[in-house]
Chains A and B, each alone.
Chain A
Amino acid sequence: MKARNIDLSDACGVDDAMRRIAIVRFAEVLTLVPALRHGRSKDLHDLRIACKRLRYALESFTPREPALLEAASRLSQLQDALGDLHDRDLLLLAMSKKLHVSAQRIRMEREDALARARALWRDAFAPYGPFEGLMRFTGLGYGFGDGLPN
């Protein structure tokens, strides 16, 4: 998924520019979150890329906005879980039918990674949770932690 262009032409100072970038990148993540519900590989891959973009942006902003540090760290954990899942998807595609017992184990590892990603996402939106600072900074994300299967 291609990153959206961010208009900074009329931004009022550095804090406003940071906020605009964080809003666009967080919105990209929120748009892709249904992937955690249905578990489709391509959409989960796009979500992982969007999490990575948001995380890198937030990490660049933390010297000026330390409240974003927790969100960046949670996004890193989420990215790891989604990365493990993606690695299993690639491996399953490359494996022959002769490896069906091992493939079954790898499918279970994939499910574990998905469950981990869902739990990390849900917990991020808890009151005073890791996304609190990001939600306050962007004004986005309220009501997004609910409704995922375990």
Chain B
Amino acid sequence: MPDDRIAEWALGLIKADVHAFKRARARFLRQPGTKRLHDLRTSARRLRSLHEDLREAIPPFSLKRLRRLIDLTGEARDASVMREALRDALDVRERRAARGLLRTLRQRERITLKRIARALKHVRLSQP
């Protein structure tokens, strides 16, 4: 085990990121939207990344459900960004041909947002 100063520093960083994640989660659950989804996703990924860096210096705690949430937020974000990029680049002659894909992306985003809201209820991060 690393010395106490490192353990204390590592725990402080993790606790700050857990706190940031919980704040982002509460905001998203109050009113889901693109910006709040981005904040939720960023805070979850930041916490996972810090956990990977410091896992030897902190008491073990599971991030299994957080990982699932990160995957879901990635799906929703990809669908939203792809839709926007397609709209921006779409040639006027191909509008009709693009309708199906745009609709699929919109549906995928909507469904995933609902799954995120459900998954968030199961993410219980006990303080390490």
Contact = CB atoms under 8 A, between A and B. Distances in A.
Interface of A: 3, 5-14, 17, 21, 25, 52-53, 56-57, 60, 87-88, 90-91, 94-96, 98-99, 101-102, 105-106, 109
B101 A94 contact: yes
Contacts of A17: 2, 6, 9-10, 57
B52 A106 contact: no
A63 to B, nearest CB: 10
A6 B30 CA distance: 38
B5 interface: yes
A87 to B, nearest CB: 5
B2 A101 contact: no
A102 B57 contact: no
A9 B1 contact: yes
Q: Is the interface of A mostly helix, strand, loop or mixed?
A: helix
9 contacts: A3-B49, A21-B53, A21-B54, A56-B49, A60-B53, A87-B82, A98-B97, A101-B91, A105-B89
Given A14-B6, A102-B90, A53 B49 contact: yes
Interface string B1-31: 1110110011001000000000000000000
Contact of B94 (A88, A91, A94, A101): A101
Contact of A90 (B2, B78, B90, B97): B78
A4 B111 CA distance: 34
A94 B13 CA distance: 40
A87 B89 contact: no
B97 A5 contact: no
B6 A11 contact: yes
B20 to A, nearest CB: 11
A25 B54 CA distance: 12
Nearest to A98: B97
Contacts of A25: 53
B71 interface: no
